[in-house]
Structure 1
Amino acid sequence: MVMSLDLSGLKATVLGGDERETETLRLLQQQGAVVDAYGCPPSAEKVLGRPQANSVRAALDGAAIVICPIPYPAADGSLYAPQSKEKVYLSVDDLSTLAPGAVLITGVATDVMRTAETTLDFQLREYEHDNDLMILRASAIAEGAAAVAIQHSPVTIHRSSIVLTGFGRTGVALGSLLVAMHARVTVIARNPVARAIAYQMGMESYSFEHLNDVIKNADMIFNTAPALLFTRQVLAHIPEDTVLIDMSAPPGGVDRDAASDLGVHFVWARGLGGVAPRTVAQSQWIGITRLLQAAGIQA
């Protein structure tokens, strides 16, 4: 069920992202918004009925609503925009063209967004830490991670020895899926409660002190923890045929240079929610609707 808002006549701009953002454009349009886009996938132009804006500034000019991707911005501040020909950056000058009282919704705000909010007339809202929204999209992310493993591993998930580092919202969904696929899953987590939950779900569980010993026998490793866990010293314990899939946000949980030097089969799997764009976009729409209502746009 898609939650409704009356956005009639309001300009709504979507920046960057993947097919989820195309679906978000469609949902905004269904609520009566006049939509624009920059840095979105080519599929966005079918929704728009015309080419995307030729610059960030043009896309933002007069916008009352701006939607940016959930995946974390890169270290250089660029938005997640894997299908854009150019990197997508926001500047304070660009944001100054927004309509008075505009609402900018993003997964995690960049420094530029935070600086601009202190001097310009717009509201900044983040939904990366909206627990129920993140749980709603966790299943799609877990399925995407499994698809990456199937593509990159020489063995099946079924009966494989899999190490899962981190056991938050995404880790729980992924662990449940892997167990259902009859993998032998070992969870590495700091929180003893998380380790107890993993054990109750049919997984082995250990603290991070045991990481080096556990990964020696792994066929696949999934990292969901937002910290640099896989240093050169840790990577040296990973077997040659093991695939290491890092699902964490920038700057990531793996020393990528060391992984390359050591010949570790490493995949940085960003934007996994995009594997089921309609499902994930509709769950994100729940969060977008809630934030717009909180900002004064009522259903």
Structure 2
Amino acid sequence: MRKISVAIVGGDLRFVRLAQLLFEQGFLTFVYAISHPDIPAGVKVAKSLEDISTCDYIIGPIPFSRDGKNLYTPLSNLSVSIELFIDYMNSSYLCLAALKPDVIYMLDKHGLKYIDLMEMDEIATLNAIPTAEGAIQYAMQNSEITLTDSKCIVLGFGRCGKVLAHKLKGIGADVFVEARSTKDLTFIEAYDYTPVPLGELKQHLWKFDFIFNTIPVQILDFTHIDAMNKNALYIELASVPGGIDIDYANEKGVYYLPAPGLPGKVAPTTAAKILYHGLKIIMHK
């Protein structure tokens, strides 16, 4: 019986763990633009994109790109341009993540088969767990106070916001959650958090010890930053551009802590199992 071939291109430590898992599960496994001593000897190290162009499935990094030009390859000295990557793809099913509109346009233009893994509830919802735990870890490591009895606000009530608010409440924090929709605000109140409508956010900011942002849109301008507690820790969980005016925040001395890609940093083995779970769903479809 022919083995299913899967190639991993780029990515952080979670993709090393995924390569191990795929190999252990009997897949014909390739890696390209990712190097680590934990990659099993039986995994094939591709020398070029051409070497993996006929694989059944190709898994890209998370995020797919940081600079909009090249794939995210933190564990390799190789630079892989988005255009070159797409040019070499043909029959493979592409499992990519956090795709920007211009990349989606290029994929569609080439008629490629692909999925954005971060749009799969089966992955994104589970991914919120290591993200939330990582955010709490970062908060504890970068503050002189406990989360217990602290005042925290979570900006956004999506997958990550829901899980993070729940875990902060469990630790004993006084949890506020910002949201736009009245439906979300009603659920926030039902879960025994304090709801904060976006339009009223500014008048509450002075009281928070920790601000966790999950919204990839700038909602905190200079007026919000001026209203913040000067000792607050702001943790950025959202993708670029994030939720705050970074230049003004730096100018005002805000303790700004970027925290992208937390699952791959704080829980790479769990993150790899989540990706594997999603890949199996894709294969069965």
Specify if TM > 0.5.
yes
Gaps of 5+ in 1: 1-5, 295-299
The one-letter code sitting in structure 2 at the alignment partner of 1:160 is S
Q: 1:265 to 1:213 in 2, by over 3 A?
A: same
> What corresponds to 1:47 in structure 2?
40
> What corresponds to 1:297 in structure 2?
none
Is 1:292 aligned with 2:283? yes
Separation in 1, partners of 2:59, 2:163: 26
Is 1:103 aligned with 2:93? yes
Quote the RMSD (CA, aligned, Å).
2.5
Aligned partners of 1:215 and 1:238 also within 8 Å: yes
Separation in 1, partners of 2:117, 2:43: 29
Q: Could you tell me which of 205, 216, 232 is aligned with 2:195?
A: 205
Q: 1:175 to 1:35 in 2, by over 3 A?
A: same
Q: Could you tell me which of 157, 170, 174 is aligned with 2:164?
A: 174
Moved more, 125-134 or 202-211: 125-134
2:82 aligned counterpart, secondary structure: coil
The one-letter code sitting in structure 1 at the alignment partner of 2:133 is E
Deviation at 1:34, TM superposition (A): 2.8
Separation in 2, partners of 1:246, 1:25: 29
Q: 1:101 to 1:76 in 2, by over 3 A?
A: closer
Is 1:258 aligned with 2:251? no
Separation in 1, partners of 2:81, 2:88: 15
- TM-score scaled to structure 1, two decimals? 0.84
Aligned partners of 1:72 and 1:250 also within 8 Å: no
Moved more, 60-69 or 12-21: 60-69
Is 1:196 aligned with 2:186? yes
> What corresponds to 1:28 in structure 2?
22
Separation in 1, partners of 2:78, 2:56: 24
Deviation at 1:238, TM superposition (A): 1.8
What does the per-residue CA deviation read over 1:48-102, in whole Å, with 9 as the maximum and x for residues that have no partner? 55795455x35644333210134363252433444444554322x443334x521
The one-letter code sitting in structure 2 at the alignment partner of 1:262 is K
Aligned partners of 2:30 and 2:44 also within 8 Å: no
Q: 1:39 to 1:144 in 2, by over 3 A?
A: farther
> What corresponds to 1:71 in structure 2?
63
Aligned partners of 1:36 and 1:48 also within 8 Å: no
Matches within 5 A, 1:146-157: 146-157=136-147
The one-letter code sitting in structure 1 at the alignment partner of 2:3 is S
Aligned partners of 1:228 and 1:252 also within 8 Å: yes
> What corresponds to 1:38 in structure 2?
32
Separation in 1, partners of 2:147, 2:30: 42
The one-letter code sitting in structure 1 at the alignment partner of 2:63 is P
Matches within 5 A, 1:155-166: 155-166=145-156
1:211 aligned counterpart, secondary structure: helix
- TM-score scaled to structure 2, two decimals? 0.88
Aligned partners of 1:19 and 1:41 also within 8 Å: no
Is 1:241 aligned with 2:231? yes
Separation in 1, partners of 2:166, 2:57: 37
Q: Structure 1 vs Structure 2: percent identity of aligned residues?
A: 26
1:36 aligned counterpart, secondary structure: strand
Separation in 2, partners of 1:7, 1:143: 40
Separation in 1, partners of 2:262, 2:129: 10
The one-letter code sitting in structure 2 at the alignment partner of 1:38 is Y
Moved more, 186-195 or 173-182: 186-195
2:94 aligned counterpart, secondary structure: strand
What does the per-residue CA deviation read over 1:12-43, in whole Å, with 9 as the maximum and x for residues that have no partner? 22122222111221232234333222343624
Deviation at 1:230, TM superposition (A): 1.9
Q: Could you tell me which of 8, 12, 15 is aligned with 2:3?
A: 8
Aligned partners of 1:154 and 1:241 also within 8 Å: no
> What corresponds to 2:133 in structure 1?
143
What does the per-residue CA deviation read over 1:155-208, in whole Å, with 9 as the maximum and x for residues that have no partner? 111111111110111111000000000001111111222222222222111101
> What corresponds to 1:282 in structure 2?
273
Separation in 2, partners of 1:51, 1:101: 20
The one-letter code sitting in structure 2 at the alignment partner of 1:278 is T
* Count of aligned pairs between the two proteins: 283
